[in-house]
Amino acid sequence: MGTGIRMKGRANNSSGPSGPSEGSTRARIIAAALRVFATRGFEAATLKEITLASQTNVAAIHYHFGSKEVLIQEVLASVANPINRMRLELLNSVPEGPERTLVHVVRSLVAPPIHLSLDSTGDARLVTRLLLQARALPSEFTSTTIFAQYDATAQHFVQALMHATPGLSQEDAYWRYAFAIGAMHYIVSESEAGHHRLQRISGGACDTSDSDAILSQLVAFVVAGFQARSPSPVAAGTQGQHGKPLHLS
């Protein structure tokens, strides 16, 4: 099944996902900081590393941003804004109503990050790695900054998912939205060099470098999850069959 969505033209910009001009000092610093943060993490990365990568100096960083914290906010905004914009453009390409199906809503949610991460070149490929860094080594500051960038879009999509899934409760919608985002992040991390665990254990049946295959499978999986019945309440203290804890990996 084809994806119906291709974004290579937008993503193939070596200056970063938001497409700033590399001619400006501010844009060069943001692009360099994206690369350094995605590789080293927010805490470990130093301003010296960013100045070397951007061919600027610490004074320029302080002039344009004031502090490392503000620079992190600007980098995360440069990542989040294009993704959120593409998600909403795809969603709104079909007006609200019966024609806006659950498949369309889910595809609009997950396609932009997948294509940016797998089909793009240059700094755009670092988008998901940066977000995975933030989730793997969270701090109150980075978590709050990320929430500020994504929460409004998340709320918008939860409402769209509920409209496309009659009878879905608000509680179930939020749970399933969170699971959908988690599944998306995991499968994108599989495309990182040295991973490809799914491709290995499947004997090559699952190509984790094929964005079309990933998107088709992920959309089908998430749609089925949203269409599933609401689970029955689980008794407090239940840990699995015969009271034994479940160990999953």
Say which amino acid occupies 45: A
Give the pLDDT confidence score for residue 30 in this predicted structure: 95
Mean pLDDT over 122-131 rounds to: 70
Percent of the chain with pLDDT over 90: 53
Mean pLDDT over 169-181 rounds to: 97
Give the pLDDT confidence score for residue 51 in this predicted structure: 96
For the cut 90, the answer to whether the pLDDT of residue 138 exceeds it is: no
Could you tell me the CA-to-CA distances from 179 to 27, 113, 176, 226 in Å, in that order? 34, 16, 5, 10
For the cut 70, the answer to whether the pLDDT of residue 123 exceeds it is: no
For the cut 90, the answer to whether the pLDDT of residue 188 exceeds it is: no
Within 10 A of 125 (CB to CB), how many other CB atoms are there? 19
Residue 137 in contact with residue 41, Cβ under 8 Å? Answer: yes
Residue 164 in contact with residue 170, Cβ under 8 Å? Answer: no
- Look up the pTM and report it: 0.79
pLDDT confidence band for 17 (50 / 70 / 90): very low
155 vs 43, more confident: 155
Domains along the sequence of the chain with CATH: 8-229 (1.10.357.10)
Give the pLDDT confidence score for residue 140 in this predicted structure: 84
Structure tokens at 47: 């301003």
Percent of the chain with pLDDT over 70: 80
Tens digit of each residue's pLDDT (9 = 90 or more) over 198-226: 988 999 999 988 989 999 999 999 999 99
Q: CA 193, 211, 166 angle in degrees (round to 5)?
A: 125
**Of 143, 142, 115, nearest to 127 (Cα)?**
115
Mean pLDDT over 121-126 rounds to: 65
For the cut 60, the answer to whether the pLDDT of residue 172 exceeds it is: yes
144 vs 5, more confident: 144
